[in-house]
Amino acid sequence: MQKEEKYSTIHYHNYLELDQLLALQNKRSAALGENAHDETLFIIMHQVYELWFKQILTELDSVCHLFRDERVNEDNMNTVLLRLKRVSAIVNLMIEQIHVMETLTPLDFLDFRDYLFPASGFQSMQFRMVESTLGLREEDRLTYHGKSYKIVFTDAQRAQLDAIEQGGSLFELVERWLERTPFLQFAGFDFLAAYRAAVDRMIEKEQANIMNSDYLAPEMKAMRLRMLGDSNSYFKHVLSQAEHERMLAAGECRLSYRATVAALLINLYREKPILNIPFNLLMELMNIDELLTTWRYRHAQMVMRMIGNKIGTGGSSGHDYLAATAAKHKIFKDLHNISSLLIPRSELPDLPEDLNRNLGFYHSAQV
């Protein structure tokens, strides 16, 4: 672009290409002689969703690009966090937009539903790209009539999805970033050893409190001790690398051992200045995961309201399929499970003074 063109005047209408944009709501019902009023709303709602998917992909692609370097520039971390927050805000708006769609009644939907076959939201290429970019693997997806979700796409689209899956998802990039956390062992301080000792002390205190209680009946004491034993098992996969590797092999978790320990450290010492942005970044990834799950559930409930137990226009089981994806298609559940490993602040191991000083300002991550 020439410098003089950069500062030339342009009209709002032309800048947004509104002639083209507003000409894209072509109702099939009208083309086939039965002009259904509410089909315009149906088209606009789904076009708006596709525009939001495009913006989400723009943000996620940018975040992935910043994370691909072996050394993530700490100056970019705030940018990463802000862009992830934007994704969360967009998905939250997508959830709210369902209220507008719900002004369409089931009977009004029937005025044009038959014209939609076999089109389906299942065929949204951009949404599959969003899922894959975040880190939803094909083996973790529900199958479509026992076949790959990619079956509804063209060869070129399938190749594009394959490239995303092979290029390193945000999950994988964040995992590698966590694995490079330099503070797990620092100048003689072994975080995991200190954490193990703190967990042992905490459990011993809780056992003593139960046994010495004057208010608990013997059967209640026995029950609480069993519950405490169950809680103790939560700590095994972070206190034992072998147990964690077993869980990885069995598909019970996905995040690597070192990345899990790093995420735990970040959560426990999140008030330290250098760990504050990493903590908020992990929280935002969980927030996106939760919001997408909420959006899927709300979508499933809307479909139930609109068509009941009918088969979806794309041939899926409609509500049941959508509800099942909401339950299964979670990506960052390992980050959620860190909560089961947290201990009270009163039990946190004291950090060496040298480490405290290093956590007080930005410190370049060691590869």
CATH number of the CATH domain containing 112: 1.20.58.480
- Asked if residue 112 lies in contact with residue 27, where contact means CB atoms within 8 angstroms, the answer is yes
Residue 184 lies in a domain: yes
Residue 10 lies in a domain: no
Residue 366 lies in a domain: no
**Helix, strand, coil share of the chain (percent; to 5):** 70, 0, 30
Residue 7 lies in a domain: no
Which pTM was predicted? Answer: 0.89
pLDDT at 365: 41
90 versus 189: which is more confidently predicted?
90
Q: How far is CA 104 from CA 28, 36, 276, 306, in A?
A: 17, 12, 44, 8
Average pLDDT of the chain to the nearest whole number: 88
* Angle 164-166-168 from CA coordinates, rounded to 5°: 75
- Give residue 315's Cα distance to chain centre: 27
Query: Is the confidence at residue 236, as pLDDT, over 90?
Result: no
Number of domains forming the structure of the chain: 1
37 labelled ligand-binding: no
Boundaries of domain holding 173 = 23-358
C-beta neighbour count of 362 within 10 angstroms: 12
Query: Is the confidence at residue 182, as pLDDT, over 90?
Result: no
pLDDT in tens, 5-43: 666 789 999 999 999 999 999 999 999 989 999 999 999
pLDDT at 119: 82
Residue 65's nearest CA partner among 78, 53, 80, 52 is: 80
pLDDT in tens, 254-298: 999 999 999 999 999 999 888 999 999 999 999 999 999 999 999
At 248, the amino acid letter reads: L
Residue 162 lies in a domain: yes
Residue 261's nearest CA partner among 364, 355, 203, 334 is: 334
- Enumerate the H helices of 212-350 as residue ranges: 218-234, 236-239, 241-249, 257-268, 273-307, 319-328, 333-336
Lowest mean pLDDT among 46-60, 140-154, 245-259: 140-154
- Asked if residue 200 lies in contact with residue 226, where contact means CB atoms within 8 angstroms, the answer is no
Q: Which residues pair with 147 in a beta bridge?
A: 144
Contacts with 38 (C-beta within 8 Å, 6 or more apart), sequence order? 104, 108, 109, 111, 112
Contacts with 128 (C-beta within 8 Å, 6 or more apart), sequence order? 149, 150, 153, 161
113 labelled ligand-binding: yes
Residue percentage of the chain with pLDDT more than 70: 90
Residue 16 lies in a domain: no
Distance of alpha carbon 256 from alpha carbon 236, whole angstroms:
14
Residue 60 lies in a domain: yes
Residue 115 lies in a domain: yes
